[in-house]
Amino acid sequence: MPPRTARTPTLEALLPPILANLQSDPPNAYSAHQKALTTTARLVHAGHGALAVEILFAVARELLKLGEAGSGVELGVRMIEIMGQIGTPVDDKSKASVTQLLALTPPSGNWRKKLADAAVKWSAAGGCPTGDPSLHQYLGELYYKDRLFVPAEHHLLASGKRDAATLLAELLFEWSEKGKQDPGPYAVKGTLPFLAQSPPNVLPAAAFLQRFLSLLQSPASAASSIFLGSAPGPTPTDAYVELTTSPTLNFLQLALATVERAPAPGVSGVQARGTDGGVARDWQQLLARYRRIAGSDGVLANPDVNEALEHISASVFLIPQRNTGQNDLLQNLMGSLFGGGSGGGLPGLGAR
């Protein structure tokens, strides 16, 4: 008698017995969870990783719908781990599976963060070391919808997309209690992290400032009276600047315009400065002027804001600096301006 040929495992054969545990009264979430793990472990060992991903997704989704966040997230994380092991492309289809599970995960506790961290780590294989920009934007939108400003802000900044920056402006405007709090630190928070990247990410910085200033000027804003009118930018090619009574807002607009004129990557510091100091001289003069205006207790005097500005001086304008410890620069900037809070606007800085 010839040996029996092993049948190829299928979703239709393997999934229904697992889901049957969730259709009983009451649902047996533990059995479904355990059976999903053991079944998919065998599949991965036998080289059927893609099928294991399908099963884990389907069972995790049903568990999350039943409110079984712990079990659902554990299966979701395992699904993402296998996707990484088998080289699942970071594309719209694979991200849709991940975002479906994220949307079903409750915001309370650490379950969503656990799933989000695994998803971002997996998506880094798609070409962006900090994680897929669209996935970060989705997470930012999800957290913002739940009024969780701190994680929303983190992911919107990490996205680096213009749409994400526009939403970040709306978030920070709301966080400032629609302008009742000093808008300066919030504007710094949405601008400098983009400009401090290498190379500087000018487009989202510009999108953020444009939207944030527009919101501050709106009838719903408590800060609409700070606007004094428009003035031409530093050079004929620069956009108009919205003059305000806030030195910080004025500085950020001029800083953005100056960064846009920075030397192209690959140009040496000597070439960039030329015989008259070039745009680096303009940047140094801008810093000196607004540090003087802001004073010793202004936003621009904050040590971590100052560190970010010195980093921009070195990396963008090629001005030699002392070692600024820039590895933690952006995290320090976030913490110093907002104190790590999660509520409605807690800048530890005065109205500058």
**Do 227 and 217 touch, CB atoms closer than 8 A?**
yes
**Which pLDDT value is given to residue 268?**
61
**Which pLDDT value is given to residue 263?**
79
User: pLDDT means per 10 residues in the chain (352 residues)?
Assistant: 72 97 96 98 98 99 98 99 97 97 95 98 92 98 97 97 98 95 97 94 97 96 95 76 96 96 70 65 95 90 93 92 59 56 35 34
> Is 207 among the domain residues?
yes
In a shared domain, residues 296 and 241 = yes
> Is 321 among the domain residues?
yes
Phi, psi of 278, rounded to the nearest 5 degrees: 60, -155
In a shared domain, residues 267 and 318 = yes
In sequence order, the 6+-apart residues with CB closer than 8 A to the CB of 302 are 336, 337, 349
> Is 33 among the domain residues?
no
> Is 136 among the domain residues?
no
Element (H, E) at 244: strand 241-244
In a shared domain, residues 120 and 172 = no
In a shared domain, residues 317 and 173 = yes
> Is 187 among the domain residues?
yes
Listed residue (335, 352, 348) closest to 153, CA to CA: 335
In a shared domain, residues 341 and 239 = yes
> Is 301 among the domain residues?
yes
In a shared domain, residues 67 and 198 = no
Domains: count for the chain: 2
User: H-type helices in the chain, by residue range?
Assistant: 11-19, 29-45, 49-65, 69-85, 92-104, 111-123, 133-145, 149-159, 162-175, 183-195, 202-217, 247-260, 269-273, 278-294, 303-315, 329-338
Question: Whole-angstrom Cα distance, residue 197 to residue 113?
Answer: 25
Q: Which residue shows structure tokens 């070391």?
A: 129
In a shared domain, residues 201 and 337 = yes
**Which pLDDT value is given to residue 264?**
74
C-alpha neighbours within 13 Å on the C-beta side of residue 71: 22
In a shared domain, residues 259 and 328 = yes
In a shared domain, residues 203 and 76 = no
> Is 338 among the domain residues?
yes
Sign of the C-alpha dihedral, residues 291, 297, 302, 307? positive
Listed residue (218, 173, 196, 233) closest to 326, CA to CA: 196
Buried b (16+ CB within 10 A) or exposed e, 102-113: bebbeeeeebbb
In a shared domain, residues 70 and 193 = no
Type of residue found at 115? L
**Which pLDDT value is given to residue 349?**
30
In a shared domain, residues 291 and 347 = yes
| Structural domain span for residue 115 | 48-83+91-99+111-125
Q: What is the CA radius of gyration of the chain?
A: 25
Instruction: Provide the residue count of the chain.
Output: 352
Question: Whole-angstrom Cα distance, residue 23 to residue 41?
Answer: 23
> Is 350 among the domain residues?
yes
In sequence order, the 6+-apart residues with CB closer than 8 A to the CB of 152 are 139, 140, 141, 142, 143, 144, 171
Question: Whole-angstrom Cα distance, residue 221 to residue 48?
Answer: 56
In a shared domain, residues 195 and 293 = yes
**Do 42 and 54 touch, CB atoms closer than 8 A?**
no
